[in-house]
Structure 1
Amino acid sequence: MKTRTPWQVTRSVWYALFMREAVARTMADRMAWFWMIAEPVAVIAIMVAIRSVVSGGRHIAGADFVPWLITGLLGFFLFRENMMRSLGAVESNKGLFAYRQVKTVDPVLVRCFLEGMLKTFIFLLFIATGILLDAGLTPANPMAALFDWISLWVLGLGVGLTLSAASSLVPEIGRLVRIITLPLLIISGVIIPLNYLPHDFQQYVLWNPIVHGLEHMRESFFPEYRSLDGVSLTYLWFWALSLTSLGLILHLRFEMRLKTQ
């Protein structure tokens, strides 16, 4: 009998988990696809309405407000879904850990990959709609925009790997993460241009790696847009790779506790 290599075993595990998660994510609820698209549309509509009432305009320096908001919102949702979906990945797949081929890190990686695919499809759908409506949502530098998108996904993966292990060991961490999701959206510059903030406060906002990814992606979409001074993808990747390494270490070190707790 031919023995499979470790990579073949891992690939089979990932494929099985991916099919299981994809069916659960997209087919369990008849309205699943609707809500994936309706959520960002609803938030965009509310933000545009609020801005129209407050400031009476839909333009910010270097970009139209609606495309600017769409890029920031979908970029943040990409990060957020990686983080939030990873919290329950270990707990909801505990029955599968009876098979020694399935590691605790596998469902987290598969969930993040699936969320990346879904959010990429939705973003492409928004871009295609923007092109048809001549809404100015075409990236000026597509390759840079793609790299920025991948950077945000990797950052979400790193946070997801770390929190999936930490929240399984300490359940209170998961509750805290759910509480800070909305404040994180606000301080990441998703709905409020960070250039409007006082200069002293801007320096503290730049500690948030999400800001660097969103602002850099907006620069890739809108060539005349000027983000905050100090925005750097190097800083984002430092956090992304550090958190990814920490998450993998936690899954390796506490594998047995994660499987049985």
Structure 2
Amino acid sequence: MSTIAPRSRWRITADVWHALFLREAVARISADRIAWLWLLAEPIAHVALMVWVRTLIGRIRIVPGAEFIPWLVVGITLFIMFRNQMNRGMEAINANRGLFAYRQVHPVDTVLVRGALEGILSTIVMILMVIGFTLLGQNLVPHHPLEVLNIWVSVWLFGTGVALVFSVMATTLPESAKFVRMTMLPLYFLSGIMIPVQYFPHDLQQYLLYNPMLHAIELMRMGFFESYRAVEGVNHLYLHWWVWGSLCLGLLLHTRYKIRLMAQ
């Protein structure tokens, strides 16, 4: 008589993540009839809006060391990945609460899987954007691919870490989710997405550099464009401190409040 060998903890975790990933992917892509199309249309709509706004206010569309539209595409696509990871990860626990009846599923699993899914979808969108804009005559092929990959993965991890932190806040204190979402609009403009940071007064630049997403976006653009030079003060170490700090804090919070998160 054959017996089934017990699964290890790692095997159980992998199976849980695989099941959650398939569930989240189906829900994300089939949320409505154009959900899959909007993944690609959203960054293009942002680019079109920003080009129109810059034309409307009469500013010269010149970015030192880069073409304006590719420069804009890189910043917008990277920021949208971070924003989607944070917003959707923050809601992951409440959206999957019914699954906690299975003892193998933990709140942290739902957030990590959503972060992974959003990162994969954003990566596909970024590749399609590079191919599409390159075919249209816009130079969007990265000059330093490994540098671009490094920053992309760093922001992927950063978005997951921030989602872990805010998922605890949003679950234990639901009102905080509204304030977190409100910060996205000012953060969008303070990350140098629309106007090069070099155009701001030097005194203001020193305060903007406290924003880790500004570092990520500037470093990403340096990886794409050979002649582009980021504002002085941008560096990898500051970004990585935020990345690993947010991941560690998020995991610690989930460990500390696990029982409360499952019982909310």
TM-score by length of 2: 0.96
**Match status 1:5 vs 2:8:** yes
- How much does 1:56 deviate? 5.8
Letter aligned with residue 173 of structure 1: S
Structural mapping, 1:1-261, within 5 Å: 1-55=4-58, 57-261=60-264
Counterparts of 2:136 and 2:46, CA distance in 1: 19
Structure 2 gaps of 5+ residues are none
Structure 1 residues 164-202: Cα deviation after superposition (integer angstroms, max 9, x where no partner): 111111112211011111111010111111111100010
Which secondary structure state, in structure 1, belongs to the residue aligned with residue 175 of structure 2?
helix
Letter aligned with residue 255 of structure 2: L
Which secondary structure state, in structure 2, belongs to the residue aligned with residue 59 of structure 1?
coil
- How much does 1:130 deviate? 1.9
Whether the 8 Å CA contact 1:127–1:138 is kept in 2: the answer is yes
Runs ≥4 residues deviating over 2 A: 52-59
Counterparts of 2:212 and 2:128, CA distance in 1: 26
Counterparts of 1:193 and 1:242, CA distance in 2: 27
Which secondary structure state, in structure 2, belongs to the residue aligned with residue 171 of structure 1?
coil
Structure 1 residues 123-155: Cα deviation after superposition (integer angstroms, max 9, x where no partner): 000000122122011111111111111111111
Letter aligned with residue 167 of structure 1: A
- How much does 1:59 deviate? 2.5
Counterparts of 1:76 and 1:190, CA distance in 2: 8
Provide the identity percentage.
46
- How much does 1:231 deviate? 0.6
- How much does 1:113 deviate? 0.3
Which secondary structure state, in structure 1, belongs to the residue aligned with residue 141 of structure 2?
coil
The total of aligned residue pairs comes to 261
Structure 1 gaps of 5+ residues are none
Whether the 8 Å CA contact 1:13–1:102 is kept in 2: the answer is yes
